[in-house]
Amino acid sequence: MLDKLKKRRTQYALGKKLPISETQVEALVKEAIRLSPSSFNSQSSRAVILFGKESDKFWSIAREALRAIVPASDFEATNQKINSFASGAGTVLFYEDQEPIKALQANFPLYAHNFPIWSEHSTGMAQLAVWTALADAGIGASLQHYHPLVDAETAKTWNIPASWVLTAQMPFGSNEAAFPEKTFIDDELRFRTYR
């Protein structure tokens, strides 16, 4: 497993050529999310998988939402970043369905305040699982957060249920650039072990 995690890196230089078919990518995303843990087995994580023109449509929505708030003098850098995401073969939109979370809150009132926090844990694990699975298949990706800016238009465009809350967006595609060497902070700053 650690060898697979080592492959998971942020890739901004994306291309449209996938090393596996779109059907295989779809199956990989679905299985990675299915296998991801969730509190009380809530299975609250949801995904919308966009390929080709549908993915381009999402990044167009993001671009226009950003155009409305980014000063014109700064917009070119923003536009270039959005273009890099749109250069990929697709995008996974990650959601958390609030209905199972509310049901757990009603059924287990003692833990009610924790279920939204645990939902965030679930979506994080689903995102890592998908990202790692894509990387293992030779597909580049990055994790983006343009919500809530894009929520309303995205929900309208793809008929997203009202109970689904957007948590992240993952553009993916071929790796069009090498990864820089990954650096780590000193272990002493991150870990403590007691025996």
pLDDT at 1: 86
For tokens 């509310």, the residue is 102
Helix pair angle (115-136, 22-34), 10° resolution = 140
pLDDT at 76: 97
- Averages of pLDDT over each 10 residues, the chain, 195 residues: 92 97 98 97 98 98 97 96 98 98 97 97 98 98 97 98 98 95 95 97
pTM of the model: 0.96
pLDDT at 175: 97
What's the mean pLDDT when you consider all of the chain?
97
